[in-house]
Structure 1
Amino acid sequence: MKYLDKLWHFALISISGLFSVTFSIVYTYVADVTDENSRSTAYGLVTATFAASLITSPAIGAYLARLYSENVIIALSTLVAILDLLFIYFCVPESLPERLRTNQKLSWNKIDPFGALRNITHDRFIYLICLIVLLSYLPEAGQYSCFFVYLRLMLGFSEDEVAYFIAFIGVLSCIAQTLILACLQRYFGAKETIMVGLFFQIVQLAAFGIATSNSIMWFAGGLAALSSVTYPSISA
Structure 2
Amino acid sequence: MRPNLPILFIFITVVIDAMGIGLIFPVMPTLIQEVSDGTLADAAIWGGVLSAAFALMQFLFGPIIGNLSDRYGRRPVLLVSLMVMAVDYVVMAVAGSIWLLLAGRIVGGITAATHSTASAYMADISKPEEKARNFGLIGAAFGVGFVLGPVLGGLLAEFGSRAPFWAAACLTGANALLGWIVLRETVTDKIRRPFSWKRANPLGALRAVTHLPGLAALLAVYFFYQIATAVYPSIWAYFTTERLGWSPGMIGVSLAAYGLGFAIVQGLLVAPSIRIFGNRGTVTFGLLIEFASLLFLGVVTSGLLVLAAVPVSALGALGMPALQAIMSRRVPDDAQGELQGVLTSLTSLATILAPLMMTQTFAYFTKPAAPVYAPGAPFILSACLLGIGLLLFSRVRKKL
Could you say which residue in structure 2 is the equivalent of 1:110? 199
Give CA-to-partner distance per residue, 1:95-139, whole Å, 9 cap, x none. Answer: 22355334x4x4421312112233354334101211111221221
* Structure 2 contact 285–316 (Cα < 8 Å) conserved: yes
Give CA-to-partner distance per residue, 1:15-67, whole Å, 9 cap, x none. Answer: 432134333222211110011011111111221122123333332233333x2
Could you say which residue in structure 1 is the equivalent of 2:320? 231
CA distance in 2, matches of 1:69, 1:150: 29
CA distance in 2, matches of 1:76, 1:126: 40
The SS at the match of 2:162 is helix
Q: 1:70 to 1:144 in 2, by over 3 A?
A: same
The answer to whether 1:163 aligns with 2:199 is no
C-alpha displacement of 1:220:
4.2
CA distance in 2, matches of 1:78, 1:58: 16
* Structure 2 contact 261–310 (Cα < 8 Å) conserved: no
CA distance in 1, matches of 2:191, 2:257: 42
The answer to whether 1:218 aligns with 2:307 is yes
The answer to whether 1:83 aligns with 2:121 is no
The answer to whether 1:34 aligns with 2:34 is no
The answer to whether 1:53 aligns with 2:145 is yes
* Structure 2 contact 258–314 (Cα < 8 Å) conserved: yes
Could you say which residue in structure 2 is the equivalent of 1:70? 161
CA distance in 1, matches of 2:54, 2:180: 20
* Structure 2 contact 132–321 (Cα < 8 Å) conserved: yes
Could you say which residue in structure 2 is the equivalent of 1:174? 263
Q: 1:85 to 1:159 in 2, by over 3 A?
A: farther
C-alpha displacement of 1:232:
0.4
Could you say which residue in structure 2 is the equivalent of 1:16? 54
Query: Number of residue pairs matched?
Result: 233
* Structure 1 contact 201–223 (Cα < 8 Å) conserved: no
For 1:134, the aligned partner's letter is F
C-alpha displacement of 1:184:
1.3
Q: CA RMSD in A?
A: 2.6
Name the TM-score, length of structure 2 as normaliser: 0.52
The answer to whether 1:2 aligns with 2:38 is yes
Question: Structure 2, unaligned stretches of length 5 or more?
Answer: 1-36, 58-109, 326-400
Residue of 187, 206, 228 corresponding to 1:96: 187
Could you say which residue in structure 1 is the equivalent of 2:221? 132
* Structure 2 contact 199–208 (Cα < 8 Å) conserved: no
For 1:13, the aligned partner's letter is S
Q: 1:168 to 1:143 in 2, by over 3 A?
A: closer
* Structure 1 contact 208–220 (Cα < 8 Å) conserved: no
CA distance in 2, matches of 1:149, 1:76: 28
Q: 1:112 to 1:74 in 2, by over 3 A?
A: same
Identity of matched residues, %: 23
Question: Structure 1, unaligned stretches of length 5 or more?
Answer: none
For 2:296, the aligned partner's letter is A
